[in-house]
């Protein structure tokens, strides 16, 4: 009777286990919430709040960065940018975290996938990390294409290095890896070999490049989109993104979309 | 929860088992965290405004948080009335036996067609008329023009036998006049209020934060304005009132009841707390018990001039 | 602070060294934490509205905090214009060389007398007309009635040669009409906006939270509404605008400038941060430098339809 | 030139030194802010906030409960009741406290005062405590009349016991001291001896009783009033209380007023 009964999200309180400042404005948070951790899939997200008063007003969406169903915890990798993330950055182990999740559709890894490329800029790697780990588990070869403003903002590079076939870096200032577009590296790879699926974080610029490469090299490609969200569960129709098939809710029909369906206005 | 106390309210022809329901556009029966039993505990269910024909709604960004509030420029994406009856109404029917349907149109005939089309459906308990949404061709909003408001409600009445709830716009200098006009035109109930028109600008990027330039302000920020409007209408127009705007806890809802509302809708608060409507129902019950009232009727409109 | 960038603004006949000043009623030269030098850095000083004769103001409680906002029903306690000139104006003169005086009256003659009385004082740079405060005898507010507004401004103009700033009420359905009316009646500048009428009820004690039943809502809660109104006027009426409502940081003030305001008043934010006006001036300067503008003029009204 | 230049309050950040839950909803907070602690006088107060976002919106007024100019600290005794005090209750040593103060006029202790009575209910004792200590220092005999809902809410009773001539208790439930009005005890004392000055906390009921006794026994009497405040410095005209001489600002002309000047509407 309820259409989405099968995958109904939960609203529960979690417990902050740790909150670590990685560098600059980047933090990693571990939250204990077994009911959510057990259901979470790569590419999905939670709506989260650590505030009781009404400023900030809404919950904030964050991708699962790590999922540990055994210990009933999940991780979030986040960047401090505004009101909500400032409160998160100051929070301490033991604090309560109000959660709604898991939300959204998650990444699809088609059967018989031999290799994938992940393309991310900065914090965009957060959503892709569990996908990388899951792919590794399934024995899929991973090509990682990572970019950032500067070297020390190339997040999780050690971890990704250790489990990927190949990792390519670019930084805007050239402080690590090359300068320039990380998708040029991808193009070089595509010239040499077949990549089954490309996954890209929500960066408009990167996604457009992937779309262009896709037209040429014909691979499956998925993007994880971000839009401002009020509810996260599909009720408010606030988080839409333009697609070939009209406006789609990022929280409900997404956040993962086939790259070829997404339309960026310019 | 002891059942010593009655939460039942009558809004003219409309009887509710309790005064709490979702505000249109903030609740979707297809994406709710509430289960069947919980949905049935609501005083009514009120889905997002529907239009006669399919509409896609506004371009993004549609949502922008403000201090203690929320600007939205969702518009009214709708799959049209036929789809609504086929796909959504059956779900609503199973969830609750009081269903209020919110109507949106671009013109008087638009609204009348919609009302007429729905008149047969016995499952629908009342029609709420969304007066603040779209522009008429000549640029005048129903919700801020007494003559247009009268004409609209008067004509809708001719096309339906269902109770009419006029959902007023708060963007007016005298809400009492609008309520009186709606009543005179045939509305049996007033909902006050829809969102206040607002705007936000990203000063770094120098762009409007909403795709549609302007949007409607909802949330706790606006509650004092709405409470005032409820009270003004309650003091001057003899018509049942549904209050809506910024309610996020039982105390907020009770404030509206004391000011003169017979029922209360909850909108934006559902977003950060999908259980809020249930908590408010419980909280009102506790308040009545603590204060030793037998019935919610005892507190409706308690605050007099 | 490098001085590469100009913050000077012209509002018709009124020249300001920068766009930031206090909102009437939220700043008192006799009780400020700012020192002489700091006071002199403000674009102008604007004390609380004065009345011709002594008035005691409203009974308490006069203040009630709401979510991201503040309801006040202070009324306009005033020691009268004579006292103002003798005791307050000399302090203002020493503090800043742009003094704007806010006028409040119960009737048109009231306002005219006040304007006439002050006309001789060369230290006063402009008069701001508080249109939203008191009730006329017949219960119509100047700020929400176009005809009364026109009549009032038109008559005040006859009694003064000073620039007239019409401070509009936001409690209207079309702020553009009010701005146009004020302009046509002779106002050279518009301040938008005064407070939105609101109410709050203590549900435990079942009493109004304000002694005067209703009050005016100010603070961050209302800023999106005011930004929208500034923008609406800027798109349609050719008159300089002073924006006011909910500004508490440079970003908020810049939002209003981008929307079309040439100056910005800061009210309630002074209460929790008495240094806010100075911080905003510095913040605007930094923004202009960062964005490589030479003058604040480059960002005023940048957001177009 | 600036009229109140002599006693201009400061706006500064203080440091939370400790925050102790005394019992139930009562807390004591120690704040390091030497510039304020050095100027503070009994009966004065600070406006305080420990929140950066706009909900709660205003600062909150609290009386000086303890003043240690040597260590540059002052104490606040407070009851957790709403949004602001809830945040305070959760705060921890090291947190920043935004302060405006010292504010208001403080208690007057006339020359040649031999004895005083202090009359307080519940948290009302907070403002009177520094007055008691100051009186003790000056060799003035103290009669304390304390009431509360129940015994364990008779705050600071040990401390007051140790420095007062005599202490009288009443509790609503009779769990400590007598039941009934604490001012009856005062009346008994007044029948026997002359009290120079009576100081009472802002309780309307107590103050009215004091006013009645004052008419009969003719003593000096001062009350510390509370009203909702926006600015705390006299600018907003929001915190007025009715007096014989019209509305007076509690933050500026008060919070301490001669009892005979104050008018309570009913
Ligand atoms: C599905 C999804 C997954 C995300 N995963 C991550 C993640 O793993 N790590 C991470 O650091 N960030 C992630 N983001 C972005 C993150 O939600 C924002 O950075 C965060 O909401 C900012 O909140 P704030 O209060 O600090 O910023 P503010 O600017 O104060 O927020 C104001 C409003 O804008 C919204 N907002 C601001 N930036 C964004 C954004 N980029 N996307 C959506 N809403 C935004 C906020 O939610 C809030 O409603 C994700 C966003 C989405 C939609
Ligand atoms: C001069 C003065 C001295 C005070 N000293 C003390 C003290 O030493 N210890 C103590 O516990 N309390 C004291 N109070 C009362 C204290 O200010 C309030 O308890 C506090 O402001 C409540 O804030 P809240 O956010 O927890 O409550 P909320 O109810 O959420 O506050 C909402 C609004 O009401 C105001 N408010 C609520 N209660 C009071 C009150 N009793 N007086 C003034 N404003 C109020 C708040 O400041 C705020 O603006 C004093 C008040 C004044 C005026
Ligand atoms: C995202 C969103 C969508 C809305 N859609 C509608 C709508 O379709 N029809 C309508 O009458 N009101 C709509 N509203 C207004 C709400 O029903 C309600 O009147 C308003 O939000 C104030 O209540 P609140 O403060 O509790 O949210 C919408 C509000 C929001 C926030
Ligand atoms: C306590 C208080 C007193 C006010 N008194 C006046 C007044 O005397 N005259 C006037 O024109 N506006 C008065 N206002 C309105 C402010 O000038 C301003 O328009 C309004 O508060 C919105 O700005 P803000 O959100 O920055 O406070 C008062 C506002 C407050 C909060
Ligand atoms: S956030 Fe509400 S529909 Fe996506
Ligand atoms: S609180 Fe503003 S005048 Fe007293």
Task: For residue B134, name the pLDDT band (cuts at 50, 70, 90).
Answer: low
What six digits make up the tokens of D34?
A: 């030497």
Which H helix or E strand runs over B72? Answer: strand B69-72
d(CA A240, CA A230) in angstroms, rounded, equals: 11
- Shortest-distance atom of ligand 1 to CA A255: 1
Chain C residues whose beta carbon lies within 8 Å of the beta carbon of residue D230: 63, 70, 72, 268, 271
Same-domain status, A225 and A139: yes
CA nearest to D55 within chain B: B68
Closest CA relative to residue C22, chosen from C101, C83, C94? C101
Spell out which residues of chain C touch residue B210, defining contact as CB-CB under 8 Å. Answer: none
CB A264 within 8 A of CB A241: no
Look up the domain containing B85 and give its range. Answer: 9-58+78-198+218-298
Has A239 been labeled as part of a binding site? Answer: yes
| Residue B2 banded pLDDT, cuts 50, 70, 90 | low
Q: Do residues A214 and A254 share a domain?
A: yes
Element (H, E) at A191: helix A182-192
Q: Tell me how many domains chain D contains.
A: 2
pLDDT surpassing 80 at residue C139: no
CB D230 within 8 Å of CB D250:
no
The response to whether A62 counts as a known ligand-binding position is: yes
pLDDT at C30 over 70: yes
pLDDT in tens, B219-270: 999 999 999 999 999 999 999 999 999 999 999 999 999 999 999 999 999 9
- Tokens read off for A234: 């599909």
Q: Are residues A126 and A97 in the same domain?
A: no
Look up residue C53 and give its two tokens.
Answer: 């004769």
Distances (CA, A) of C222 to A128, B66, C244: 40, 9, 10
Closest chain B C-alpha to C45 CA, distance in angstroms? 26
Between positions 38 and 67 of A, the ones with CB within 8 A of C are 54-55
Residues A78 and A147 reside in one and the same domain: no
Beta bridge partners of A242: A247
Q: What percent of chain B has pLDDT over 70?
A: 96
* Average pLDDT score over residue span D132-141: 96
Instruction: Provide, as residue numbers in chain A, all residues whose Cβ is less than 8 Å from the Cβ of D89.
Output: none
Q: Whose CA is nearest to atom 49 of ligand 1?
A: B65
A89 within 8 A of A27, measured Cβ to Cβ: yes
Instruction: Tell me, yes or no, whether B136 lies in a domain.
Output: yes
pLDDT band at C133 (very low <50, low <70, confident <90, very high): low
A166 found inside a domain: yes
C305 touches chain B (CB under 8 A): yes
Within a domain: D176 = yes
For C71-127, give the DSSP string.
EE-----B--HHHIIIIIHHHHHHH-S-EEEEE--SSHHHHHHHHHHHTT-TTEEEE
CA of B250 from ligand 5 middle (Å) equals: 25
Whether residues A183 and A211 fall in one domain: yes
Tell me phi and psi for residue A104, to 5 degrees. 85, 180
Nearest residue to B37 via CA among B95, B114, B123 = B95
Determine if residue D61 is labeled as part of a ligand binding site.
yes
Question: Predicted ipTM?
Answer: 0.97
Quick one: how many helices (H) and strands (E) in chain B?
A: 10, 15
Q: By CB neighbour count within 10 A (0-12 exposed, 13-18 middle, 19+ buried), where does A258 fall?
A: middle
3-state secondary structure of B280: helix
Residue B20 forms beta bridges with which residues?
B264
Closest to A210 measured CA to CA, from A144, A260, A143, A246: A260
Give the separation between CA D204 and CA B270, rounded to whole angstroms. Answer: 41
Q: Which atom of ligand 4 is nearest to the CA of C266?
A: 26
| Alpha carbons B253 and B249: distance in angstroms, whole number | 7
Specify the residue with its C-alpha closest to ligand 2, atom 43. D228
Kindly report, residue by residue over B67-77, the tens digit of the pLDDT. 999 999 999 99
Q: Is residue D2 part of a domain?
A: no
Q: Are A17 and A133 in a shared domain?
A: no
Looking at the fold, whether A166 and A205 belong to one and the same domain comes out as yes
In a domain, residue B101? The reply is yes
Tokens of D245: 């001489």
Q: Which residues of A touch B28 (CB under 8 A)?
A: 234-235
Exposure letters D216-243 (e unless 16+ CB within 10 A, then b):
ebebbbbbbbbbbbbbbbbbbbbbbbbb
Q: Could you tell me the CATH number of the domain that includes residue C153?
A: 3.20.20.70
Q: What is the mean pLDDT of residues B268-282?
A: 98
Give B162-216 pLDDT, tens digit per residue.
Answer: 999 999 999 999 999 999 999 999 999 999 999 999 999 999 999 999 999 999 9
As given in the structure block, the two tokens for residue C114 are 């006040």
Closest Cβ opposite residue A11 in set B29, B59, B274: B274
* Number of CB atoms found within 10 A of residue C15's CB: 12
Which protein residue's CA is at the shortest distance from atom 10 of ligand 1? A78
Ligand 1 atom having least distance to the Cα of A84: 25
Shared domain for A252 and A169, answered yes or no, is yes
CB < 8 Å to C254, chain B: 203
C303: contact with B, CB 8 A cutoff: yes
In angstroms, the CA B30 to CA B191 distance is 24
Collapse the DSSP code of C70 into the 3-class scheme (helix H, G, I; strand E, B; otherwise coil) and give the result. strand
Residues of chain A with pLDDT under 50: 1-5
Distance (Å, whole) CA A108 – CA A258: 10
Domain CATH number, residue A169: 3.40.50.80
Domain total in chain C:
1
Residue A4 lies in a domain: no
Q: What pLDDT score was predicted for residue D154?
A: 85
Of C31, C64, C68, C133, the catalytic one is C133
CA distances to C74, C107, C139, C144, C148 from C135, in Å: 14, 9, 5, 11, 12
| Residue A236 assigned ligand-binding role | yes
Residue D189, pLDDT > 80, answer: yes
Supply the pLDDT for residue D177.
Answer: 87
- The reported pLDDT for the residue numbered A178 is 87
CB contact under 8 A, D236 and C32: no
Q: What is the CATH number of the domain that holds D51?
A: 2.40.30.10
Answer yes or no: is D266 within a domain. Answer: no
Q: Are residues D32 and D137 in the same domain?
A: no
Neighbours of A198 (CB within 10 A): 24
Q: Are C280 and C247 in contact (CB under 8 A)?
A: yes
Residue D98 pLDDT > 80, yes or no?
yes
Q: How far apart are the CA of A223 and the centre of ligand 1, in A? A: 17
| A172 and A135 co-located in one domain | yes
- The sign of the torsion formed by the CA atoms of D22, D24, D30, D35 equals negative
Pocket of ligand 3 (CB under 6 A): A 230, 236, 238; B 23-26, 48-49, 70, 72, 74, 76, 102, 130, 167, 194-195, 218-219, 244-247, 266-269
For ligand 2, whether the C-beta of D236 sits within 6 Å is: no
- Which among A103, A132, A153 is the end of a domain? A103
Residue A12 near residue A35, CB atoms below 8 Å: yes
Domain residue limits at D226: 115-261
Residue D147 in 3-state DSSP?
strand
Q: Bridge partners of C190?
A: C166, C241
Determine the Cα–Cα distance for residues B246 and B228; give it in Å rounded to an integer: 13
Q: Which of residues 89-118 of A touch B (CB under 8 A)?
A: 98, 100
Whether residues D80 and D123 fall in one domain: no
Q: Is the CB of A257 under 6 A from ligand 1?
A: no
Mapped onto helix, strand or coil, the DSSP state of residue A257 is: strand
Task: Evaluate whether B56 touches A247 at the Cβ level (below 8 Å).
Answer: yes
Q: Any residues with CB less than 8 A from the CB of D184 and at least 6 apart, and which?
A: none
Is position A2 within any domain? no
Q: In this structure, what DSSP letter does residue B238 have?
A: -
Of the residues B77, B267, B268, B269, which should be mutated to test ligand 3's pocket, given the most ligand atoms within 8 Å of the CB? B267
**Ligand number with the minimum distance to the CA of D239:** 6
Q: Which of C195, C220, C271, C274 to mutate to test the pocket of ligand 4 (most atoms within 8 A of CB)?
A: C195
Q: Where are the alpha helices (DSSP H) in chain C?
A: 36-41, 81-83, 89-95, 108-118, 146-158, 175-185, 223-236, 250-259, 269-272, 276-290
Contact C146, C140 (CB under 8 A): no
C-alpha torsion sign, points C254, C260, C264, C268? negative
Residue D1 lies in a domain: no
Atom of ligand 3 nearest to the CA of A238: 1
Same domain, D124 and D64: no
* A5 domain residue, yes or no: no
């Amino acid at each position: 009777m309820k259409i989405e009964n099968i995958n109904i999200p939960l609203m529960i309180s979690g417990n902050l286990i740790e909150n670590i400042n990685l560098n600059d404005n980047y933090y990693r948070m571990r939250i204990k919430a077994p009911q959510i951790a057990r259901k979470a899939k790569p590419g999905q997200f939670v709506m989260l709040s650590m505030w009781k008063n009404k400023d900030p007003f809404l919950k904030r969406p964050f991708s699962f960065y790590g999922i540990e169903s055994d210990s009933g915890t999940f991780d979030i990798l986040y960047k401090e940018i505004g009101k909500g993330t400032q409160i998160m950055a100051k929070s301490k182990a033991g604090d309560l975290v109000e959660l709604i999740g898991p939300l959204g559709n998650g990444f699809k890894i088609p059967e018989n996938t031999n290799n994938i490329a992940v393309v991310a800029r900065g914090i965009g790697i957060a959503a892709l990390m569990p996908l990388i780990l899951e792919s590794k588990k399934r024995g899929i070869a991973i090509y990682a294409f990572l970019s950032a403003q500067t070297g020390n903002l190339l997040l999780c590079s050690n971890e990704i290095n250790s489990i990927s076939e190949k990792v390519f870096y670019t930084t805007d200032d050239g402080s690590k890896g090359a300068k320039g577009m990380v998708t040029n590296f991808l193009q070089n790879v595509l010239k040499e070999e077949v990549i089954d699926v490309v996954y890209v974080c929500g960066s408009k610029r990167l996604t457009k490049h992937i779309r262009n490469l896709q037209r040429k090299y014909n691979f499956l490609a998925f993007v994880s989109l971000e839009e401002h969200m009020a509810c996260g569960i599909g009720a408010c129709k606030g988080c839409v993104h333009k697609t070939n098939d009209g406006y789609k809710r990022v929280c409900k029909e997404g956040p993962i979309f086939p790259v070829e369906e997404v339309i960026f206005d310019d | 929860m002891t059942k010593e106390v009655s939460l039942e309210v009558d809004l003219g022809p409309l009887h509710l088992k309790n005064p709490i329901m979702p505000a249109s556009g903030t609740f979707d029966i297809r994406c709710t965290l509430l289960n069947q039993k919980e949905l049935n505990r609501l005083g009514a269910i009120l889905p997002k405004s529907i239009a006669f024909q399919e509409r896609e709604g506004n371009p993004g960004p549609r949502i922008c948080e403000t201090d203690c509030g929320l600007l939205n420029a969702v518009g009214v994406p709708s799959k049209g009335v036929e789809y609504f009856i086929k796909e959504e109404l059956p779900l609503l029917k199973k969830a609750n036996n009081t269903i209020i349907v919110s109507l949106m149109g671009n013109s008087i005939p638009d609204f009348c067609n919609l009302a007429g089309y729905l008149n047969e459906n016995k499952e629908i308990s009342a029609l709420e008329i969304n007066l603040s949404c779209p522009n008429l061709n000549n640029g005048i909003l129903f919700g801020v023009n007494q003559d247009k408001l009268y004409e609209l409600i008067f004509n809708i009445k001719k096309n339906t036998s269902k109770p009419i709830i006029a959902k007023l716009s708060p963007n007016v200098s005298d809400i009492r006049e609008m309520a009186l006009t709606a009543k005179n035109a045939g509305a049996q109930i007033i909902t006050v209020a829809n969102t206040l028109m607002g705007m936000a600008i990203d000063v770094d990027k120098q762009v409007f934060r909403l795709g549609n330039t302007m949007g409607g302000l909802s949330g706790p920020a606006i509650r004092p304005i709405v409470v005032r409007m409820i009270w003004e209408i309650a003091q001057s127009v003899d018509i049942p009132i549904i209050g809506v705007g910024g309610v996020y806890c039982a105390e907020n809802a009770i404030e509206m009841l004391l000011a003169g509302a017979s029922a209360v809708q909850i909108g934006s608060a559902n977003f950060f707390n999908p259980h809020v409507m249930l908590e408010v129902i419980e909280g009102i019950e506790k308040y009545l018990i603590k204060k030793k009232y037998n019935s919610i009727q005892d507190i409706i409109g308690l605050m007099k001039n």
